[in-house]
Structure 1
Amino acid sequence: MIRDALRTLCRLGSEILVVRLAVPPRADGRPPSLLQWTLAATLRSPSHQRWVTQVGDHAVTRLAMRLEVNRLDQWRDWWLRLLFPPPRAGRTDYPARALAWINARVTHRLDVPVDASVGQMVQALVWRRADRRPAFPPYVGWLALRDNNERVRLWLVQTLFGIPPDTPAQLAHRFDEQLERVMQWRVTSAVVALLGMIGVFWIVTTPFEPFEQLLFSICTLTLALVFRRLDSQYSVLVLIGLSLISTIRYVWWRLTQSLAFDTLPEAAVGYTLVAAEMYTWMILLFGYIQTVWPLQRRITPLPPDTREWPSVDIYIPTYNEGLDVVRPTVYAACGIDWPPEKLNIYLLDDGRRDEMREFAALAGVHYMTRPDNRHAKAGNINHALGKTQGEFVAIFDCDHIPVRSFLQTTMGAFLKDPRCSLVQTPHHFFSDDPFERNLATRGAVPNEGRLFYGIVQDGNDFWNASFFCGSCAVLRRTALDEVGGVAVETVTEDAHTALKMHRRGWNTVYLKVVQAAGLATESLSSHVGQRIRWARGMAQIFRVDNPLFGRGLKFGQRICYANGMLHFFYGIPRIIFLLAPIAYLFFGLHIVQAAALSICAYVLPHIAHANIANSRIQGKYRHSFWSDVYEAVLAWYVALPTTVAFINPRYGKFNVTAKGGLIEQSFFDWNISKPYLVLLGFNLLGFLAGVLRYFYGPAHEMGALVFNLAWVTFNLAVLGAAVAVATEVRQVRRTHRVSMRMPAMLYLPDGRTIACHTRDFSGGGLALLLSVPLELSEGTEAQVALSRGATEYGFPVRVVGVRGQALFLSFMPLTVAQDKHLVQFTFGRADAWRDWDVERTHDEPIKALFEMLAMGLRGYQVLANYLLGKLVTRWQDRLRSARQT
């Protein structure tokens, strides 16, 4: 009865307002929408109302096309496409089926039509049918009077920017231009920033009840899901702003309402958890600043007159790497396009090996060594700097094979800016790293290094803070001389050298164009050793030359360097997060003094917003939840080195990363996985204790129990994936196969010539794709000609297999000249790695979560198989011993 009376009053009030405001009725006879009410209240002219309506309809149509929404008037379709991208052609749309089933159940329970609007559903929720009592606080009923099916329109554009009425398409284009122009005005930007700061402060400090906080979070998350699907860089700024608002609200609540501990153990564990969270908050903020606007710098062309090009020395330092690793790099360096009289190549051998001296003479490059190995790679380069005279120095690790266009791509920036000290290009790897190989994720999940070279370095470049990464870079000799050569105070000499040059006012450049490719670490143990050195070195720099202090750096540079160094301190916080839920599940400690509803209302939106923003920023280079896996694998191993280096920065030495090794057979690396197994055991015990608490624990703590069980379940999935990475997969290739399509000519012994192209190649052979199948027997000798520009060169080959239109060939013994040309015509091609940044697997957070969970289950399967195998082997040995006795 009360509900009927309210409906009658609302209907009468709306009819009166329709007459007073002259709200036009809908064509389908339904009541006026929220948009029509707003237009009637703000714009009295019917022509203006129609114009704004057309603009809004155009904007909604464009957004619907972008999201692939089929039914624009169905809010469920909008939510579906915001959360789940449409399936590929021919595949079942399972999210749509699930949503239809849920919608049918909900509408049946609420007794509303299947196509009910949001307002009808909220109205049904506000008043329960059984007892006519409000289901929620009275203010929620206000939502029932609104028709939320309509989109927010662009009618404010004319008022804010004074744009005259125009066609919708022209308006959208002019709005983008006007917004870009307005944001460039310093006064306007300052006013907007000031008003934004005031508004954000008011938003983040306004206290909410848990239910109000949930409503607020739903609104911000809905807005974030919309902006996540837009391409504009301004949408990234909106996502960052929403994430920071949610995070600051969480921080405010966390520090003011959740730290009233009852016991000393709870306080000890609780404050430890808060300290770990404070670290993540800082890294999140610094990361947003660092990647807020990737520069995406373009190549600066060189002058056409080669006489204006400077002289360059190419350094290839080596210590204990084999000739098979060094040879391709030297051969490719010999093929770099640069005037020969202005180019010198030096093989810097810290191993003082005769075979390297002989090879350098054979390849036609300079060989240089020194009497000791002081300061490792940095000392090797500094020794060469004192013996050479080139204006610029290009440095390649001995496993990084440059392409012929390297210098023509990078040197233009130096001629354009006389204060440019460094041009850095990405490190690209044509072999699988341990994560890609052991988890079989190559091409499906971006590898660990793609985030840094894909987005972080590009973001650093916006702040003039690009790091020197030790290889695939060119440096100005005068800048190096000014800072005393390559830094020797830390084991990450590259980043420290760049920091010194930035302090002296030099500029740096990052070009996101791959101009060299190398070998990734072969095993997880080698990978861990390399990351330990990086972590130790960055901690040393943070201790002895802290970028947050001292002269010479600008604000953005300080943030970028500080974030790059503080990132490697994640070891201890990550271990804390992996163990924190056990404190409650196993010991009953309440380490967050708040109700479960309050925790969910503040924690979950903070996590969701951070994941949405990072998915939009990093999605092409790092999938959601995979950072948890990478950090869990390395956390135990970097925790101690970073702590020791921060306390005593002189402790520790340079360790060389092994490259080009083999794994003769698959095995489970028990030594490297011991920390994962210990953490996994603790979390498993906590999970079992939580299950017991569920059945026998106090009922009023059910919310906290469910929250901690969900937390420990996520930890178990992450640790399971870490265990899966420790399963080393067999790798017996001495020359890695690289997928690449190149034109080729096949010359057969019978005189036939067949045009074809390569499918892949390696140092030992290649695979050709033919237009028609050929019947060739194994062992048939032929010749394959590859071209580079207008030059063609032939290589003797032998047929090792035929499969349909694919022909598999191995190279016959090659001369030095043929070997050099093979490298230059394959790895050294200017277009060899042009597709490295092609978007193959854009991030889908929900899909990424299930991928990570699947990897976790795979880890447990691997662990069970190995444990079962060891158990069976042990019993067999005992039975064999018993029979012999």
Structure 2
Amino acid sequence: MSLPELLAWFARHLGVEDPRQLRLWILRLFVLPPTEARPQPQWLSKAMLRTSGVLVRELEIRQPQSAQEWLLRLFVLPSGISKAKKEATPWHLSRLVRTLLGGAYPHVRNVVFWLAWPLRKLYARFDRINFISAGSKLESVADVAFAQPMWLRYVMVSIAVVLFILVATTPLQWFEQLMFMALMWLMAMTIRRMPGNLPTLALTTFSLIATARYAFWRVTQTMDLGSPIEYFFGGGLLMAEIYTWIIMMLGYLQSAWPLQRKPVPLPADTSLWPTIDIYIPTYNEPLKVVKPTVFAACGMDWPKEKINIYILDDGRRAEFKEFAEAANVHYIARTENSHAKAGNLNHALKVTKGEFIAIFDCDHMPVRSFLQMTMGWFLRDEKCAMLQTPHHFFSPDPFERNLGTFRRVPNEGSLFYGLVQDGNDLWNSTFFCGSCAVIRRGPLEEVGGIATETVTEDAHTALKMHRRGYNTSYINIVQAAGLATESLSGHIGQRIRWARGMVQIFRTDNPLLGKGLSLYQRLCYTNAMLHFMNGLPRLVFLTAPLTYLFFEFHIINSGAYLLTLFVLPHIVQSTLANSRMQGRYRHSFWAEVYESVLAWYIALPTTIALINPKLGKFNVTAKGGLIEHEYFDWFISKPYMALVLLNFTGFVIGIMRLFSWNTFETATVVMNLLWTAHNLIMLGTAIAVASESRQKRISHRVPMRIPATLYLANGQTLQCHTQDYSTGGLDLHIDREVVLPQDTRVKISLNRGDREYSFSARIANRRNDSVGLYFEKLSMDDEKHLIQCTFGRADAWLEWNKHTIQDRPLDSLIEVLAYGLRGYGHLFRNLADVIAARMAEQRIAPRSPTP
């Protein structure tokens, strides 16, 4: 039978009138790129019903909307959402299995039960989706009854586990391994084009298979080494790899299915709304940083008699107290500074009385809708103790500013707040992040207030509340924005504190031990804490090839070709899976860049904290500063330059080995040279980040289109809109024909709801169809209204990421390579400047007279 005849027969069997429809559907499914909304052919739904027969009728699936939904109903989502639907069991399948197995059925059932036990919580978690995700894209699937018995799913999962183990451990010849790698790659490249979450799970499965095959082969076949020193270095490399495998698997569990919780409306009767205390802690930040946050908090939509705003000043500064009185907010200061920010918050907790506490870092300005978007969940779920929203930064961090990637490439924190926290929410494991969050007073007091045992008091506090059985929540809608760290040194100092604190929690209140946490909560917390231990493994990867290039140590007992056949599928499949899962929030290869920058600085603090968790202190991250001149941070880049020197020397020696010394193992030399070249690229990018660009604006510009009205001195009125704004001025889009001389005094009005506010300004510059304004001295009321009309708008940050580029792994690799080369360009130019300056100093310096 020819292929056209086969397709025609298959189409007739499925009830397809035109075989071309079948061909087109196959093309759409496996070859053509997906569209945003692709309707499933009706003939396919009919075909599935026809071919599924009794099973489909027993599952009560009348009109499947898509093949993915049908597969979800059959294999993934839980049964037992309601008692009536539990009773709709396909009894004939149960009887058939019992008949086939006979007396062995009870034993098989027990084996299946224990093999599939860890997945029972996974199935139960979808009941949480059913409760939480009202209005979400999952609701139409999660609310459907899935009547197949649970034991049937256990059988299927157990079979899948056995097959997975067989696939991971079955030895293959090199040609078979090559074909297996090629087949998985082709399947992954096809599946990654399909829409929905099931392709993501499929890619994750491929990645786990490739990694499991590599890990099993690596542990069992490559550790027969020749000498104790090779065992030492080889064992260290293997331990670093095991660390990455664990982090990868926990990351998949944490992020494979983000919950995407939606806000819950508040009751129409405002008398039912609770009382809220707004805490704005500060220590040494300037008033110009704190003012906008206070003004934005004053503009939040909440009954005035039910909200109190507090400046918590640990610096005990008179100007802050005067400002609080003028702004009509409360001021709290304590006589000492024990336990830093945590102690400051706990002190305020004792002298305030609100039912809920909203906490904002002093540079995080909330939008007016913050409380209305978050408080509904506390009224719906009495066990909800904390709700977190994303930390959003409208100024570039050192990576974005020094590399020029601001708003184009996702920043370092995008992955955590865009995906990881949403994934945590599925498992009731959302962390408190210290700001932009609301906490219920009762549970907070029950755990003794904000945790003071570690320097990451926020995550530790959430862990304590989870141990008491409380729920936490996450809404992935930006409702506050603040300033990023200005310098690389400040950024590294902040990450050191986070890393030290998470390791302190791991030592003093280990989530894997103790009572009160579910299995998945333990795993989510463990992944967060282990993530900050990446410093030492990253240093191992940055130096491992040098053991061969310098000393000819063989720390992996395998031929280079065979090693490539096992490690390449692991790298490729994990890259494709992570690109699919994280592409909006983390581009490929950028994780290595971030880790390379931080590795040296967090390796020692985390190791010390693991040994002695009491060492270390809280440090405040500086915000709101300026970088007046470009400069190269020689101090912070010393570790990078040392690693560059080592890798470059090793690369040169490797070239000599390739052509002279080790011509008998060319493939091994080439493999180590490629590894070293990759390390040099990552280190070059780290050096590029250490080249500090100029930060000349005190007031950061935020691009946003807002309707505005410009009033000229001659009485003329112009309707226009903003292109960007800041606390210091605006950039307006305006008709080119209007003549506006520089320094002309004008009035500019902005709307906040149905109210209009006017501000005095002067023309700063005129460029084609835009005009720049800077504000004249504003009164306190004017400053407050300006913040509320701009940074405090409910829609201020909704379209912030629309210009972010979707990840393309090959493009990301090329981009990182370009930044690595740019870093070396910066290094050589700065070295030349230093040498020239030293030579000039020597020429200018007066010579001592000859005796």
Which residue of the partner structure matches residue 387 of structure 2?
A: 423
Which residue of the partner structure matches residue 833 of structure 2?
A: 869
Q: How far apart, CA to CA, are the structure 1 residues paired with 2:488 and 2:799?
A: 27
Closer/same/farther in 2, CA of residues 266 and 156 from structure 1, 3 Å limit: farther
Q: How far apart, CA to CA, are the structure 1 residues paired with 2:234 and 2:694?
A: 44
Amino acid paired to 1:60 = L
Cα shift at 1:444: 2.0
Q: How far apart, CA to CA, are the structure 1 residues paired with 2:510 and 2:389?
A: 25
Amino acid paired to 2:224 = A
Amino acid paired to 2:243 = Y
Which residue of the partner structure matches residue 666 of structure 2?
A: 702
Conserved? CA contact 1:211–1:601, under 8 Å: no
Which residue of the partner structure matches residue 60 of structure 1?
A: 27
Cα shift at 1:160: 5.2
Q: How far apart, CA to CA, are the structure 1 residues paired with 2:472 and 2:812?
A: 35
Cα shift at 1:579: 0.1
Aligned-partner SS, 2:635: helix
Conserved? CA contact 1:242–1:609, under 8 Å: yes
2:270 pairs with 306, 315, 322, which one? 306
Q: How far apart, CA to CA, are the structure 2 residues paired with 1:869 and 1:322?
A: 35
Amino acid paired to 2:235 = Y
Conserved? CA contact 1:773–1:806, under 8 Å: no
Question: Could you report, residue by residue, the CA deviation over 1:406-437 in whole angstroms, capped at 9, with x for unpaired residues?
Answer: 10010000000000000100000010100001
1:176 pairs with 63, 68, 81, which one? 68
Amino acid paired to 1:55 = L
Conserved? CA contact 2:496–2:602, under 8 Å: yes
Closer/same/farther in 2, CA of residues 51 and 593 from structure 1, 3 Å limit: farther
Q: How far apart, CA to CA, are the structure 1 residues paired with 2:655 and 2:288?
A: 56
Which residue of the partner structure matches residue 835 of structure 1?
A: 799
Closer/same/farther in 2, CA of residues 581 and 171 from structure 1, 3 Å limit: farther
Conserved? CA contact 2:417–2:476, under 8 Å: yes
Does residue 606 of structure 2 align to residue 642 of structure 1?
A: yes
State the aligned residue count.
Answer: 765
Which residue of the partner structure matches residue 331 of structure 2?
A: 367
Aligned-partner SS, 2:453: coil
Cα shift at 1:202: 1.4
- Bigger Cα displacement from structure 2, 728-737 vs 664-673: 728-737
Closer/same/farther in 2, CA of residues 367 and 245 from structure 1, 3 Å limit: same
Does residue 678 of structure 2 align to residue 714 of structure 1?
A: yes
Conserved? CA contact 2:657–2:663, under 8 Å: no
Amino acid paired to 1:353 = R
Which residue of the partner structure matches residue 632 of structure 1?
A: 596
Conserved? CA contact 2:410–2:804, under 8 Å: no
Q: Which residues of 2 match residues 410-489 of structure 1 at below 5 A?
A: 410-489=374-453
Which residue of the partner structure matches residue 404 of structure 1?
A: 368
Q: How far apart, CA to CA, are the structure 2 residues paired with 1:477 and 1:48?
A: 62
Which residue of the partner structure matches residue 524 of structure 2?
A: 560
Aligned-partner SS, 2:544: helix
Does residue 246 of structure 2 align to residue 282 of structure 1?
A: yes
Q: How far apart, CA to CA, are the structure 2 residues paired with 1:690 and 1:157?
A: 63
Cα shift at 1:877: 2.1
Conserved? CA contact 1:423–1:510, under 8 Å: yes
1:692 pairs with 631, 656, 668, which one? 656
Conserved? CA contact 2:299–2:792, under 8 Å: yes
Question: Could you report, residue by residue, the CA deviation over 1:529-576 in whole angstroms, capped at 9, with x for unpaired residues?
Answer: 000000000000000000011111111111110000000000000000
Which residue of the partner structure matches residue 824 of structure 1?
A: 788
Q: How far apart, CA to CA, are the structure 1 residues paired with 2:68 and 2:641?
A: 54
Closer/same/farther in 2, CA of residues 471 and 654 from structure 1, 3 Å limit: same
Amino acid paired to 1:265 = I
1:860 pairs with 792, 804, 824, which one? 824
Amino acid paired to 1:61 = R
Conserved? CA contact 2:408–2:803, under 8 Å: no
Aligned-partner SS, 1:328: helix
Cα shift at 1:267: 1.2
Conserved? CA contact 1:774–1:805, under 8 Å: no
Closer/same/farther in 2, CA of residues 370 and 829 from structure 1, 3 Å limit: same
Closer/same/farther in 2, CA of residues 220 and 160 from structure 1, 3 Å limit: farther
Which structure has the larger Rg?
1
Does residue 497 of structure 2 align to residue 533 of structure 1?
A: yes
Cα shift at 1:190: 2.1
Which residue of the partner structure matches residue 768 of structure 2?
A: 804
2:621 pairs with 638, 654, 657, which one? 657
Conserved? CA contact 2:178–2:565, under 8 Å: yes
Q: Which residues of 2 match residues 144-155 of structure 1 at below 5 A?
A: none
Q: How far apart, CA to CA, are the structure 2 residues paired with 1:322 and 1:736?
A: 16
Conserved? CA contact 1:770–1:807, under 8 Å: yes
Cα shift at 1:25: 6.6
Conserved? CA contact 1:56–1:154, under 8 Å: no
Conserved? CA contact 1:52–1:155, under 8 Å: no
Question: Could you report, residue by residue, the CA deviation over 1:335-385 in whole angstroms, capped at 9, with x for unpaired residues?
Answer: 111001100000000000001100100111000011110000000010111
Q: Which residues of 2 match residues 227-242 of structure 1 at below 5 A?
A: 227-242=191-206
Aligned-partner SS, 2:469: coil
Which residue of the partner structure matches residue 496 of structure 1?
A: 460
Cα shift at 1:210: 1.7
1:205 pairs with 169, 186, 189, which one? 169
Does residue 814 of structure 2 align to residue 850 of structure 1?
A: yes
Q: Which runs of 5+ in 1 are unaligned?
A: 1-22, 27-31, 69-152
Q: How far apart, CA to CA, are the structure 1 residues paired with 2:293 and 2:191?
A: 45
Cα shift at 1:187: 3.8
Q: How far apart, CA to CA, are the structure 2 residues paired with 1:587 and 1:218?
A: 35
Closer/same/farther in 2, CA of residues 778 and 266 from structure 1, 3 Å limit: same
Amino acid paired to 1:778 = Q
Aligned-partner SS, 1:347: strand
Q: How far apart, CA to CA, are the structure 2 residues paired with 1:768 and 1:843?
A: 33
Aligned-partner SS, 2:532: helix
Which residue of the partner structure matches residue 691 of structure 2?
A: 727
Amino acid paired to 1:312 = I
Which residue of the partner structure matches residue 581 of structure 1?
A: 545
Does residue 321 of structure 2 align to residue 357 of structure 1?
A: yes
Aligned-partner SS, 1:569: coil
Q: How far apart, CA to CA, are the structure 2 residues paired with 1:730 and 1:864?
A: 19
- Bigger Cα displacement from structure 2, 692-701 vs 241-250: 692-701
Cα shift at 1:47: 7.3
Amino acid paired to 1:560 = C
Which residue of the partner structure matches residue 669 of structure 1?
A: 633
Closer/same/farther in 2, CA of residues 189 and 163 from structure 1, 3 Å limit: closer
TM-score by length of structure 2 reads: 0.87
Cα shift at 1:158: 5.8
Q: How far apart, CA to CA, are the structure 2 residues paired with 1:620 and 1:162?
A: 42
1:879 pairs with 826, 843, 846, which one? 843
Cα shift at 1:737: 1.0
Which residue of the partner structure matches residue 8 of structure 1?
A: none
Q: How far apart, CA to CA, are the structure 1 residues paired with 2:674 and 2:817?
A: 13
Q: How far apart, CA to CA, are the structure 2 residues paired with 1:732 and 1:804?
A: 24
Conserved? CA contact 1:420–1:506, under 8 Å: yes
Q: How far apart, CA to CA, are the structure 1 residues paired with 2:580 and 2:50?
A: 30
- Bigger Cα displacement from structure 2, 796-805 vs 700-709: 700-709
Amino acid paired to 2:200 = V
Conserved? CA contact 2:204–2:577, under 8 Å: yes
Conserved? CA contact 2:16–2:22, under 8 Å: no
Which residue of the partner structure matches residue 107 of structure 2?
A: none
- Bigger Cα displacement from structure 2, 870-879 vs 333-342: 870-879
Q: How far apart, CA to CA, are the structure 1 residues paired with 2:422 and 2:408?
A: 23
- Bigger Cα displacement from structure 2, 49-58 vs 491-500: 49-58
Cα shift at 1:224: 1.1
Conserved? CA contact 1:52–1:154, under 8 Å: no
Cα shift at 1:66: 2.1
Q: How far apart, CA to CA, are the structure 1 residues paired with 2:277 and 2:23?
A: 60
Q: How far apart, CA to CA, are the structure 1 residues paired with 2:502 and 2:840?
A: 50
Cα shift at 1:883: 7.9
Q: How far apart, CA to CA, are the structure 1 residues paired with 2:276 and 2:553?
A: 64
Cα shift at 1:880: 2.6
TM-score by length of structure 1 reads: 0.84
